[in-house]
Amino acid sequence: MSWVGGKKALRDEILSRFPLNFEKYVEVFGGGGWVLFHKPPAYGYPAIARASPIGDFEVYNDRNELLVNLFRVVRDKPDLLKRSLRYVLNSRSDFDMARRSLGKKRTTDVQRAAWFYQIIRYSYASGLNSYGAMPHDIWADFPLIDQASRRLGRVLLENQDFERLIQHYDRDTTIFYCDPPYHATEGYYQNIGEGGFTERDHIRLRDSLLSIHGKFLLSYNDDAFVRDLYDHEGIYIEPVTRLNNIRQRFDPNCQFEELIISNYDTAERKRAMVQLTIFDDLTKSANKKSIGK
């Protein structure tokens, strides 16, 4: 599902830069989960090196309690969620009713998840505030909810402050993927029910990441404040660009400049893939010669 700051356009770039070997994957600012859902369940140590071939230990975290509740209901109660969504209406009055109802204290986790999902799907640009007035068949989402439920089956869902979360899961074999509110755009996240993210929080995140035992991969907007914040020895800062989806309507092919920041060499996976391709080609060539003989 769409979400403010979602990484649909950058997810391949992010996955290609994951370290070769890790056991724990922690998504610190989970949002819509675009990277988690795009990531294969087993993307760290190969199965031959594992005690158990079940995949990575995965954690999804977000400070938005409504969002985490939605993911938890999708994971544990998908049929009840679909039942609650079965007769919602794509109308302004129904949208406004769902927004007002989220403030009710006495309701079930499934009903809160259904209301929240409804306003995500029917709001303008998933901003949750205004009705989008666009056609959408929510029944068409039901197979996606089932797929998401299966994918989240072994994912641990957290609703913690990032500093506490990082301290809790930090190990030598952990990779933290962080996609915080971008600098100077923090106001967008206040609109979707999250607390403010200040410059102090950007600094607090930097200090938390520079002190970890594991590895981190961080996506940010290309900003002088961010570059200066992570200008430290042993930190890699790589500029990348993607299509600016917001400006596509009036400025086609407009690019948005971002940074990928890490405390390890992000090219190691690419080099390994090239090496595997070379050996694979050599093996195929040898087999062809053998067959020819």
pLDDT at 270: 77
Give residue-wise pLDDT tens across range 221-242: 999 999 999 999 999 999 998 6
Q: How far apart are CA 68 and CA 101, in angstroms?
A: 18
Q: How far apart are CA 124 and CA 192, in angstroms?
A: 12
Q: Which of 86, 229, 255, 75 is nearest to 157 (CA)?
A: 75
Q: How far apart are CA 126 and CA 128, in angstroms?
A: 5
pLDDT at 32: 92
Give residue-wise pLDDT tens across range 124-147: 888 888 999 899 999 999 999 999
Fold of 11-64+159-268: Rossmann fold (3.40.50)
Side by side, the strands of the sheet bearing 174-178 are 155-158, 57-61, 24-27, 174-178, 215-221, 255-262, 236-243
Average pLDDT over residues 158-172: 97
Domain boundaries along the sequence of the chain: 11-64+159-268
Average pLDDT over residues 198-227: 95
* pLDDT at position 168 over 50: yes
* pLDDT at position 194 over 50: yes
What is the Cα gyration radius of the chain?
Answer: 21
Q: How far apart are CA 151 and CA 45, in angstroms?
A: 19
pLDDT at 248: 46
* pLDDT at position 4 over 80: no
Q: Give residues with Cβ within 8 angstroms of 4, minimum separation 6.
A: 31, 125, 126, 127, 188, 189, 191, 192
Quote the distance between the C-alpha of residue 157 and its chain's center. 13
* pLDDT at position 91 over 70: yes
Confidence of residue 264 (pLDDT cuts 50, 70, 90): very high
What average pLDDT is seen over the chain?
Answer: 85
Average pLDDT over residues 182-201: 70
Q: How far apart are CA 20 and CA 14, in angstroms?
A: 13
Average pLDDT over residues 270-281: 65
